[in-house]
Amino acid sequence: MAAKKVLLLCGDYMEDYEVMVPFQALQAYGVSVAAVCPGKKAGDVCRTAVHQGIGHQTYSETRGHNFALNASFDEITANGYDGLVIPGGRAPEYLAMDEKVLDLVRKFSDAKKPIASVCHGQLILAAAGVVQNRTCTAYPAVKPVLVAAGAKWDEPDTMAKCTVDGNLITAATYDSHPEFISLFVKALGGSVAGSDKKILFLCGDYMEDYEVMVPFQSLQALGCHVNAVCPDKGAGEKCPTALHDFEGDQTYSEKPGHDFTLTASFESVDASSYDALVIPGGRAPEYLALNDKVISLVKDFSDKGKPIATICHGQQILSAAGVLKGKKCTAYPAVKLNVVLGGGTWLEPDPIHRCFTDGNLVTGAAWPGHPEFVSQLMALLGIKVSF
């Protein structure tokens, strides 16, 4: 059967997580995803926004990653795709005024193809006139527009709320992603096998934003039980993240990312309770590699032969733990020194999204490699998505 093809409708200042998590998760599951924006072509960039609640009366906004489009809006047609995904953020405000966008959405709706829209994305659905008598949820501030457009409003009791009405999947915020993506995969005719796995994420302050959230929610969407821990922090506490991007300088830039909420206590973690370990990159690994309890935990996973997946600077921890000896692996290029001194055989990440598996070890160089990174971890765990 031909691979499923999905269209991702982008715009400047769409929410950072709400575009990248579905984009990379779906690719990891074997779905082809075309990301387009009106007035832009393949290779152009959309700026994104980091939105989160930090105690004020509405969400805050800071600059997100730059998102690279991989298709041209003027060259796509609705009949070339099996489904449509619409991220939220501020982009939908202006996309909802574009007649070409609205016509595209109507064509997906008329063909009864799955449409998955999150947060403020539902502004576009309302403008396209496809929510009449349809039950929808959204970010609460979108309620008046949806009601005026004839939708049946489904109040989000939590920001992880999802609602399904026929071919329409709507969600409140990026907290909804695990269910949102799972429902969309199901609507595309997908089924998941082998996902009854427990996976541990080793987190720290200023880990890279995408490198924790994309694999975390991608694995949750498959049905895995995923826990995130950080030394000296408990369940419900937060880790600030760093947003690393490539913007023409000699090294990556850094901006503040989302705050990431931990789900378990580090002190109570036992490797024997989990099937795999994931270590995000960013700046956290350089100090986590100094923590004896972290090193002991990593060695325990390695000694038991359990899958370990690390990306970017995460391999600094593997090197410090002495588990790279005799292993072939990659990492962010600046971490080559750690890999070689740790006894590993260096594999050049060319291109930067290249990932490698050697035995129980999956390594990647940077967040553009997430589709391969998650897919290779799925293969080690025996998780399959079929359409």
Catalytic residue among 65, 120, 244, 370: 120
* Known active-site residue 203: no
Amino acid letter for position 364: G
| E strands in 166-311 | 168-171, 191-193, 198-202, 207-208, 225-229, 238-245, 253-261, 276-279, 308-311
* Known active-site residue 313: yes
Contacts of 22 (CB under 8 A, 6+ apart): 8, 33, 85, 87, 116, 177, 180, 181, 184
Residues paired with 6 in a beta bridge: 33, 83
Catalytic residue among 37, 119, 230, 239: 119
Cα gap 266→279, rounded to integer Å:
14
Catalytic residue among 312, 329, 355, 370: 312
Three-state secondary structure readout of 305-333? CCCEEEECCCHHHHHHHCCCCCCEECCCH
The token pair that represents 31 in the structure block: 């779905």
Number of other CB atoms surrounding residue 360 within 10 Å: 18
Contacts of 242 (CB under 8 A, 6+ apart): 206, 207, 208, 209, 254, 255, 256, 257, 282, 283
* Known active-site residue 120: yes
Catalytic residue among 313, 329, 355, 370: 313
The token pair that represents 90 in the structure block: 């501020």
Contact 335, 287 (CB under 8 A): no
* Known active-site residue 312: yes
Q: At 130, is the secondary structure helix, strand, or coil?
A: coil
The token pair that represents 328 in the structure block: 């072939």
Amino acid letter for position 314: G
Q: Kind of pairing, strands 308-311 and 361-364?
A: parallel
Nearest to 169 by CA among 112, 218, 210, 213: 112
Which phi and psi angles does 219 have, rounded to 5°? Answer: -75, -40
- Active site (catalytic) residues: 119-120, 312-313
